[in-house]
Amino acid sequence: MTYPRRLLALLFSILAISPVVASDLYIVGGRYFDLEAVRPNPGILVRAGRIHAIGNLEPATDGDRTIRLTDDEVLLPGLIDLHAHYNMTLNEKRREELFAMPVLYLANGATSTFPAGSFDPEGMLAMRRRIDRGEQVGPRVLNSGPYFGPARPGWDRDMGADALRAEVDRWAERGVAGIKVKRISARHLAIVVERAHHHGLTVTGHLDSGINDTINPRDAIALGIDRVEHFLGGDAMPPERSAYDSFPGITTDSDAFREIVAGFLEHRVYFDATLSAYGYFGDRAEGYDHWTDERRFFTPYARERTAGRRQKIDKFGNIFLIKLETVKAFYDAGGGDLLTLGTDHNSAGEYLPGFSVHRELHAYVMAGLPPAAALRAGTINGARAIGLGDRLGSIEVGKWADLVVVGGNPLKDIRNTRNVRHVVKAGQPYDPAALLKSVENSIGPRNESELGDW
């Protein structure tokens, strides 16, 4: 196979632009987002990968580095994508892309990613370890391991409690940051939640209505699930129909909708709406424009094979429009601090999920959320949802120095988050333009002989 040789060459090109950091980093000038408003930046000192001081900075010494912001630049906490797929479908199967994708996430300011279930959990784990060792550039990868539930190939629907506990234990010992369940049964979810919580891990779920031995989010909340993906659930999704079939009939003024929202609020369960994921399949309203040529990151052969490809699913397009209303109603009911950002985008050769982080922020604002609330969903809410709120998600002394500088005030136009000027992860600054340049023409097969690997 030629794929590993190409990956090795790509690794070398990325390492060539990866900084070696031992000195302090000063970020001065411009403005910063304090989770409520954009304010003048009093100066930020980063030391040993953490925010050491804000304002009243000690003088810089020889060897220290400085990022000087212009008047129109705004410093944000690093973005957190809690449904960050690294896989794509360029041929007939869905597979992980482990070398260009992490660079694209980081270059877009997504400094932390939770894959929300992996098709190749071993490969994803190895990727995270390379990044952690400094052998590869990428965001913090908060591994989720394999799917727990029938979405995993070979899943045993009759797995016993002891075997399932052992499976959770095994992935906890391997350092996953959380567990993702998909289409799981109630009996299995109860065990997964209990055992994950034993290890201090959160559980998130792509659930259903209760049809075909699945569990409705309402009942999953009663079992202690921490986060729910895509749909709120409840009596608006009866077990006689799938969630996808029920969703078009949901109205935000119904008792069923109000009851499920109240359940989320009462139990403090986070909701990862994955708004933008459904809009790709519809008429592609505002937000689905290309502010850069995302296809340049695919090989010429992959671009040729996927030219003009588009999967249009009217049901999903309608779901996108209804989800805009339900998310706004969830926010209005007091759920703003429970909304998180998740792209849930599986690329087929046109859009890439690193860039879609900005589409998800835009979709929240399209739904009617204030830009500050959208940014909180993509920063502090995500950090708290994954159990890292004391270390990530805001610009505060003592927190990990994961930061992104954008051109223009995103509180005036959320699309300004697209203008990424600087990225800092664990105190290490990166040039987004150099990162993007390093992975152009790299994703996908180069010719027909490599097609089988994809």
The values of phi and psi at residue 67, to 5°, are: -105, 115
Q: Looking at 217-343, which runs of residues are DSSP E strands?
A: 227-229, 270-272, 339-340
Query: Alpha carbon of 72 to those of 31, 75, 406, 436: distances in Å?
Result: 8, 10, 9, 23
CB 108 within 8 A of CB 357: yes
Per-residue pLDDT of the chain (454 residues; tens, 9 = 90+): 333 444 444 443 444 344 445 689 999 999 999 999 999 999 999 999 999 999 999 888 888 999 999 999 999 999 999 999 999 999 988 999 999 999 999 999 999 999 999 999 999 999 999 999 999 999 999 999 999 999 999 999 999 999 999 999 999 999 999 999 999 999 999 999 999 999 999 999 999 999 999 999 999 999 999 999 999 999 999 999 999 899 888 999 999 999 999 999 999 999 999 999 998 887 887 889 999 999 999 999 999 999 988 777 778 888 999 999 999 999 999 999 999 999 999 999 999 999 999 999 999 999 999 999 999 999 999 999 999 999 999 999 999 999 999 999 999 999 999 999 999 999 999 999 999 999 999 999 999 999 998 9
What span, in angstroms and rounded, lies between the C-alpha atoms of 85 and 88?
8
Return the residue matching tokens 């005030």: 409
| Residue from 206, 228, 251 nearest 338 by CA | 228
By DSSP bridging, strand 50-54 and strand 44-47 are antiparallel
- In sequence order, the 6+-apart residues with CB closer than 8 A to the CB of 419 are 406, 407, 408
Return the residue matching tokens 């950091």: 21
Residue 177 DSSP code: S
Helices of type H across 90-241: 100-107, 121-132, 161-173, 186-198, 217-223
pTM flag (> 0.85): yes
What span, in angstroms and rounded, lies between the C-alpha atoms of 7 and 14?
10
Instruction: Mark residue 117 as left, alpha or beta (left: phi above 0; alpha: psi -120 to 50; beta: remaining).
Output: left
